[in-house]
Amino acid sequence: MVTMEDVARLAGVSKMTVSNVVNNRAGVSEPVRRRVLEAIRRSGYRVNVSARTLKSGRTGVIGLAVPDVEAAYFGHLASHVIAEARRRGFHVAIEESGANAGGEADAVTRSRTLQFDGLILSAVALDRLEEPADAHYPLVMLGEQDFGGRFDHVAMPNEEGTHAATAHLADQGCRRIAIVTGGSLEGVNMVSRRYRGYRAALAERGLDADPPLLFVLDDMSMEAGRAAADRLADSGLGVDGVVAVTDTVALGLLRGLADRGLRVPGDVRVAGFDDVPPAAYAVPSLTTVAPDHRWMAAKAVELVVRRIAAPLRPTGRYVAPFQLVVRESSAAG
């Protein structure tokens, strides 16, 4: 491995001067700078990040921990986070947390161990951190969970989104609107927030929200969505509209409804949440709540970078803007 020392010898200067050139610091004369750059080129030198980090305490890497790299909506987000971070001179390391509290806590620990300068954590399960030592680590919550305001939080428009979707279905003429969701309605989380938005929209319009119109799945997979179609079809509730908690569930549901011979939007109208890429190309294409992922990514990066610079400033909560994208699955009868 070629070190600064080698470059310095080659250029006939001290290694401190090489360091100054590498980091574009002032106080190096033009001829010397050129000599050093030439020596760097000739020798194929690269800085040793470990050595730099050891001395400076900064790695220039931001972690992005997501529940599951397979999840469709994550890719969108990740790619914007990477782009935004690069603009600000940071690298992004993507970590998988597994969609459970233990894995998410581990992600924080790993992030500190690997010395990421900060972490953007998209948690779905974790609702508090044990380690008081983590209290001032630059951490930005992205998505569902917030930790009671202890960290910066970029939130999804959960209530607002399902409210809009539900209202839209009602406007299209639906009268018996079900909600299909997974996970727990206990506590304050993504699912309970989305459920609340749905309830509020129904209440405003004086529509039913019988408990039977709530279908709770084991998880939020496509397969669960597909299975939900059977439960809907067999329920005898006369459901004519469905709000699905995510597009993944909605896409599975569309598939399941097709299997049961129910026509969308003829018999049932469907709306999803996230606007994942396949939503636009499904048959029928899926009406969905489209949060502004680019905005969320940019905000999260901005917040984490700001917090790296100033670990103690007060935290804030920011809700992403969204659009309701109306497509075939909710077309008027």
Residues in touch with its own copies (CB under 8 A): 1, 44, 46-51, 53-54, 57, 59, 61, 68-72, 74-76, 78-79, 82, 91, 93-94, 96, 110, 112-115, 131, 133, 222, 226, 251-252, 254-255, 258, 277-278, 280-283, 285
Exposure string (b/e) for 170-187, b if CB count within 10 Å is 16 or more?
bebebebbbbbbbbeeee
326 part of the interface to DNA, by CB under 7 A: no
Tokens describing residue 75: 């890719």
Q: Can you tell me the distance from the alpha carbon of 252 to that of 142, in angstroms, rounded to the nearest whole number?
A: 25
Q: How far is the CB of 206 from its own copies (least distance, A)?
A: 34
Q: Tell me whether residue 23 or residue 89 sits nearer to DNA (CB atom).
A: 23
The CB-side HSE value for 76 (13 A sphere, CA atoms) comes to 15
Q: Tell me whether residue 97 or residue 166 sits nearer to its own copies (CB atom).
A: 97
Q: Tell me whether residue 3 or residue 221 sits nearer to DNA (CB atom).
A: 3
Residues of this chain, 104-163, that bind DNA according to CB under 7 A:
none
Q: How far is the CB of 57 from its own copies (least distance, A)?
A: 8
- Strand stretches in 81-189, DSSP E: 91-96, 118-121, 139-143, 152-155, 177-182
What's the start-to-end Cα distance of the chain, in Å? 70
Tokens describing residue 113: 């161990």
Q: Tell me whether residue 23 or residue 187 sits nearer to DNA (CB atom).
A: 23
Binding partner of 72, given DNA, its own copies, none, CB within 5-8 angstroms per partner class: its own copies
Q: Tell me whether residue 176 or residue 255 sits nearer to its own copies (CB atom).
A: 255
Do 269 and 241 contact (CB within 8 A), yes or no?
A: yes
Cis preceding-peptide flag for 265 (omega within 30 of 0)? yes
Q: Could you give the string, one character per residue 35-74, with x where binding to DNA holds by CB under 7 A and - elsewhere?
A: ----------xxxx--xx-xxx------------------
- Strand stretches in the chain, DSSP E: 61-66, 91-96, 118-121, 139-143, 152-155, 177-182, 214-217, 241-244, 269-273, 287-291, 317-319, 322-325
Q: Which of 9, 15, 199, 255 binds DNA (CB under 7 A)?
A: 15
Name the one range near DNA by CB under 7 A: 28-36, 118-126, 241-249, 296-304.
28-36
Q: Tell me whether residue 222 or residue 301 sits nearer to its own copies (CB atom).
A: 222
Q: Tell me whether residue 16 or residue 283 sits nearer to its own copies (CB atom).
A: 283
Name the one range near DNA by CB under 7 A: 20-28, 76-84, 199-207, 282-290.
20-28
Going by DSSP bridges, is the β-strand pair 322-325/287-291 parallel, antiparallel, or unpaired? antiparallel
4 part of the interface to DNA, by CB under 7 A: yes
Binding partner of 17, given DNA, its own copies, none, CB within 5-8 angstroms per partner class: DNA
Q: Can you tell me the distance from the alpha carbon of 92 to that of 86, in angstroms, rounded to the nearest whole number?
A: 8
Q: Can you tell me the distance from the alpha carbon of 168 to that of 202, in angstroms, rounded to the nearest whole number?
A: 11
Going by DSSP bridges, is the β-strand pair 118-121/61-66 parallel, antiparallel, or unpaired? parallel
Name the one range near DNA by CB under 7 A: 2-10, 188-196, 216-224, 323-331.
2-10
Phi-psi region of 301 (alpha: psi -120 to 50; beta: other; left: phi over 0): alpha
Q: Tell me whether residue 43 or residue 315 sits nearer to DNA (CB atom).
A: 43
Residues that bind DNA (CB under 7 A): 1, 3-5, 12-17, 19-20, 22-23, 26-29, 31-32, 45-48, 51-52, 54-56
